[in-house]
Amino acid sequence: MKGNLTMQITNHNNSVMIDSLGSTTDMELIPRILREIVLVIAGSILIALAAQWYLPLPFSPVPITGQTFAVLFLAALYGNNRGGLTVLTYLILGMVGRPVFADGTFGIATIVGPTGGYLVGFLPAAYIVGFLSKRRWDRQAWSTAISMIIGNIIIYLAGTAWLSQFVGWENVLQMGVIPFLIGDGAKIALATVMLPSGWKLLDKYKN
C-alpha cells in the first residue's frame, strides 16, 4: 500500500497536468491508445477553433488570432510528445484541405504564404514548452511565464524569418512582431494564472 502511494505521488510530480487528472498506469494498451488519439484530435480541433478568432491587420499579412495561446497552453497541458503530435495533426489537417487555419483557410498555399513560418514554428515551440512542463516549469507563475516567452520567441523567429521573404527585413518587425506583443503579453499573463492555479487545485484534490 505504501509503495503504491509513493508511486502515485511520484507519477503526479513528474507528469503534465492532463495525465495527473487521471491515472493511466493500470490502463490496458488499447484504451490508452484510444485516449491518446482522442486527446490529440481534441487538441487539434481546439487549435483550429482558436484560429477562427481572427482579427486582420490592414498593414500586415499576419492577422491576430488565438492560435499561439492554444498551441502553447495545450503543449503545457499535454507535454512535448503529445503536444508536438497535436500540432503536427493540426498542420496536416490544414495541408490536406480542412479549413483549420486562420479565417478558415487551408492548403499548402497557406503554409508557403506569408504566415507559413508562424504555423511551422508552432511545432518546435509546442515541443519545447511541453518539454519544460514535464520538468515542472508550469507549476509556478515565474517559470510558466519564462516557458511561454520561450515558446513565443521560437514562433516569432520562425515566423519573421519566413515573412521577411515577402515584406523585407526592414519591415518584418513592424509587420510580424510589434503589433502582437501586447496581445501575447496578455496571453502569457493568463497562462501564468491558469496553469499554476490548476496545479494548486489538483494538488488540493489529490490530497
**What pLDDT score does 206 carry?**
65
**What pLDDT score does 17 carry?**
85
The Cα-based distances of 1 to 5, 6, 15, 19, 195 in angstroms read 6, 9, 21, 22, 31
Query: Quick check: is 4 in a domain?
Result: no
* DSSP 8-state secondary structure symbol assigned to residue 63: P
What is the mean pLDDT of the segment spanning 44-57?
96
pLDDT tens per residue, range 118-155: 999 999 999 999 999 999 999 999 999 999 999 999 99
What is the mean pLDDT of the segment spanning 178-197?
95
Query: Quick check: is 186 in a domain?
Result: yes
- Residue 128's domain is classified under what CATH number? 1.10.1760.20
Query: Quick check: is 16 in a domain?
Result: no
Query: Quick check: is 38 in a domain?
Result: yes
* DSSP 8-state secondary structure symbol assigned to residue 195: H
What is the mean pLDDT of the segment spanning 151-172?
97
Residue-wise DSSP of 94-152 = HHTT-S-SGGG--SHHHHTSTTHHHHHHHHHHHHHHHHHHHTTTTSSHHHHHHHHHHHH
Query: Quick check: is 13 in a domain?
Result: no
Query: Quick check: is 31 in a domain?
Result: yes
How many structural domains are present in the chain?
Answer: 1
Query: Quick check: is 32 in a domain?
Result: yes
Domain encompassing residue 170: 25-199
**What pLDDT score does 7 carry?**
38
**What pLDDT score does 207 carry?**
59
Name the pLDDT band for 12 (thresholds 50, 70, 90). low
Q: What's the pTM?
A: 0.88
Query: Quick check: is 2 in a domain?
Result: no
- Position 27 pLDDT exceeds 80: no
**What pLDDT score does 14 carry?**
64
* DSSP 8-state secondary structure symbol assigned to residue 171: T
**Single-letter residue type at 80:** N
